[in-house]
């Protein structure tokens, strides 16, 4: 399908939706609902933007079921009705988005050790370094400043953005995207002893990143103390995430920005960790669990659980009152328990007297 000048009916077939209104309108761009104009398609995935439907100048709007009525069909535009508007938007945006183009060459300023193996149609940009016995798969792209340590393996069709570091012996699967500044395989945070007797525990394991993973800028994934730190197939990780040694992330999980996961924790498949979630070490988070933003996870989580722990924002004077009361909660709890006992005694006494 060509990325320009497509009929709305063609887009509907592409995303598995149905057209209400003009199915022959030509769509050439996708734009935000408040900015869209003629020739644009936009989308409504969040009800809070419904007020824009009437005044939007878009030629077509992607909507969910039961959103449009007679009022909107009289506006003279097309609607693309789908079960999941945001998913349909993503598919159409992929269709119209320009494809990044890379120079298929190995720049003379890149340093590649003689024992390294480079696949076909690989691009290596200026000042990249590929260490001894490293392997780079077919059609992979190494942008400026990428560092691949000794024995690293990078699969086919990967894109490593500027200043990505993959330390020695770590393995990257196929179709993996590592954004700028990602560090794979730095030492895990491991020490033994206390005070001036504290010693570093050698981190001799590796990191394995499976196929179709995308990792955001400046995320760090530590190598295992022994064995492997594993990021499963299809996992999507945001910017500024810290994943410690020997952690396992199950397939197709999603981890938002500033999450921290301590060592040896096992995260299941299709788990969602929202922004700034903190997870302690040596626990398990079951398949399909969702943890809300700024939550601390101190113990294992069962499959499918929906948990939240962050404190919502409040007017400052109310927040001060809450913070003042928090240290007194244990005392208040004891007072309430004592009152409950006294009330129970009074009820029992009245019952006997009757």
Q: What pLDDT does 2 receive?
A: 44
Please name every residue paired with 206 in a beta bridge, in sequence order, or none if there are none.
Answer: 228
Q: What pLDDT does 1 receive?
A: 42
Task: Note down pLDDT in tens along the chain; length 354 residues.
Answer: 445 689 999 999 999 999 988 888 999 999 988 888 999 999 887 777 777 777 788 999 999 888 776 555 555 678 899 999 999 999 999 888 888 888 889 999 999 999 999 999 999 999 999 999 999 999 999 999 999 999 999 999 999 999 999 999 999 999 999 999 999 999 999 999 999 999 999 999 999 999 999 999 999 999 999 999 999 999 999 999 999 999 999 999 999 999 999 999 999 999 999 999 999 999 999 999 999 999 999 999 999 999 998 888 889 999 899 889 989 999 999 999 999 999 998 888 877 766
Q: Give the closest residue to 58 by CA, choosing from 81, 79, 38, 31.
A: 38
Please calculate the CA angle 20-24-25 and round it to the nearest 5 degrees. 90
> In which element (H, E) is residue 162 found?
none
Q: How far apart are CA 172 and CA 135, in angstroms?
A: 10
Q: Give the closest residue to 251 by CA, choosing from 218, 212, 217.
A: 212
Q: What pLDDT does 252 receive?
A: 98
Query: Could you say which of 66, 127, 161, 245 is catalytic?
Result: 245
Q: How far apart are CA 152 and CA 262, in angstroms?
A: 24
Q: Examine the residue annotation and report whether 127 is marked as an active-site residue of this protein.
A: no
Q: What percentage of the chain's residues is helix, strand, coil (to nearest 5)? A: 20, 25, 55
Q: Give the closest residue to 137 by CA, choosing from 127, 123, 122.
A: 122
Q: Give the closest residue to 131 by CA, choosing from 178, 168, 105.
A: 168
């Amino acid at each position: 399908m060509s990325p320009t000048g497509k009929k709305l009916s063609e887009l509907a077939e592409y995303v598995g939706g149905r057209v209400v209104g003009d199915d022959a309108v030509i769509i050439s761009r996708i734009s935000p609902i408040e900015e869209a104009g003629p020739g644009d398609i936009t989308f409504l995935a969040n009800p809070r933007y419904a007020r824009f439907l009437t005044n939007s100048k878009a030629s077509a709007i992607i909507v969910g079921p039961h959103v449009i009525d007679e009022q909107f069909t009289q506006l003279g535009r097309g609607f693309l009705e789908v079960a999941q508007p945001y998913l349909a938007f993503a598919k159409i945006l992929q269709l119209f988005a320009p494809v990044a183009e890379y120079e298929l060459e190995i720049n003379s300023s890149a340093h590649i050790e003689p024992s390294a193996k480079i696949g076909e149609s690989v691009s290596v940009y200026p000042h990249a370094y590929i260490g001894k016995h490293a392997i780079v798969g077919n059609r992979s792209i190494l942008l400026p400043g990428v560092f691949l340590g000794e024995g690293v393996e990078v699969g086919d069709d990967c894109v490593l953005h500027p200043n990505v570091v993959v330390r020695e012996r770590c393995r990257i699967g196929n179709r993996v995207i590592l954004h700028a500044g990602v560090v794979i395989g730095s030492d895990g945070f491991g020490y033994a002893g206390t005070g001036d007797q504290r010693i570093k525990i050698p981190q001799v394991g590796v990191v394995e990143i499976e196929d179709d993973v995308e990792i955001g800028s400046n995320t760090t994934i530590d190598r295992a103390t022994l064995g492997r730190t594993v990021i499963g197939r299809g996992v999507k990780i945001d910017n500024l995430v810290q994943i410690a040694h020997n952690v396992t992330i199950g397939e197709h999980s999603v981890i938002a920005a500033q999450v921290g996961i301590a060592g040896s924790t096992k995260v299941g498949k299709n788990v969602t960790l929202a922004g700034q979630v903190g997870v302690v070490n040596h626990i398990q988070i079951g398949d399909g669990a969702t943890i809300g933003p700024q939550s601390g996870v101190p113990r294992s989580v069962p499959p499918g659980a929906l948990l939240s722990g962050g404190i919502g924002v409040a007017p400052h004077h109310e927040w001060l009152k809450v913070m003042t009361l928090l240290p007194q909660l244990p005392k208040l709890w004891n007072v309430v328990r004592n009152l409950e006992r006294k009330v129970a005694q009074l009820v029992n006494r009245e019952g006997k007297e009757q």
